[in-house]
Amino acid sequence: MIYSPSIDAVFRNSGYDLAKILRTVKELGFTAFEFWGWGNRDMDLMEQLVKEFDLNVGSFCTKSISLLDPALRDSYVQGLKETLEIAQRLNCKHIIAVTGNTLEGVSREEQRQSIVDGLKACVPLLEYAGVTLVLEPLNTKVNHPGYFLETSTEALSIIAEVNSAHVKLLYDVYHQQITEGDLTPTISANIEQIGYIHVADHPGRHELGTGEIAYPFVMNKLRELGYKGYVGLEFNPTGTPEDGLRACLEQLDNNKSKASQQLRD
């Protein structure tokens, strides 16, 4: 597995510039990182620093355009096309997709169908680019009230209908602990459709080991299942970013703290 700190979450309040953030990630022994949106970033600088620090980009988000409204589909596809151009520059193979918030006055089935049709429209672009779009359900109880896609069950049904190897599930352990629970049975039953993992503890969305989720157990299950992909560390540190990342590594690797020895299983 490849552990990938979400720099927008972990370093949000650090005051570090991008160069210092990526230097810190590298010095802690990580080989990859991820971020949220690209529209307001200096992507020339990002590309330069990725090469300078010899880091991989695990994922980032496509443009924030609703998948729920068919009238916005052309804009969504165009936004993805632009995002894939950035992905090519960064050699990034995973793009995160969210659905948007539920539309008032439109049936749930119509909105669900719009997601399916929108994702199908994206498949040719994804195939050409060799990139996987990972669809993310989010909890509405704590963090994202009004968001359309809550459960992994519904997300998986949409992915099955799209029926492309380039559209998979982003399984966020934190979000699904809040929404569904039943973490490792769900992961085990659907591992072939999971294209990316995100982690944080609950409650609080802090570093692993601060809450109720048994991450050593979850990680051992992923190893048993042969998962070799990215595990994004998307949490809000209770202390410094460095201390939070070290604490996560202890949980992820069953209390082995040397990142450089443990990042790839």
- Where do we find the tokens 């620090």? 53
pLDDT in the model for residue 236: 98
Per-residue HEC secondary structure of the chain comes to: CEEEEEHHHHCCCCCCCHHHHHHHHHHCCCCEEECCCCCCCCHHHHHHHHHHCCCEECCEECCCCCCCCHHHHHHHHHHHHHHHHHHHHHCCCEEEECCCECCCCCCHHHHHHHHHHHHHHHHHHHHHHCCEEEECCCCCCCCCCCECCCCHHHHHHHHHHHCCCCEEEEEEHHHHHHHCCCHHHHHHHCHHHEEEEEECCCCCCCCCCCCCCCHHHHHHHHHHCCCCCEEEECCCCCCCHHHHHHHHHHHHCCCCCCHHHHCCC
Give CATH for domain 2-262. 3.20.20.150
> Rounded to 5 degrees, what are φ and ψ at 132?
-105, 130
**pTM for this predicted structure:** 0.94
Q: Which two tokens stand for residue 102?
A: 């539920």
Q: What was the pLDDT predicted at 257?
A: 39
Along the chain (265 residues), what's the average pLDDT of each consecutive run of 10 residues? 98 96 98 98 98 99 98 99 99 99 98 99 99 99 98 99 99 99 98 99 98 95 97 98 96 56 46
Rg (alpha carbons) of the chain, rounded to whole number: 18
Give the tokens for residue 140.
């509405």
pLDDT at site 253: 80
- Name the residue with tokens 């409204």: 69
pLDDT of residue 254: 64
Domain ranges of the chain: 2-262
The answer for residues whose C-beta is within 8 angstroms of residue 94's C-beta and 6 or more apart is: 58, 59, 131, 132, 133, 134, 195, 196, 230
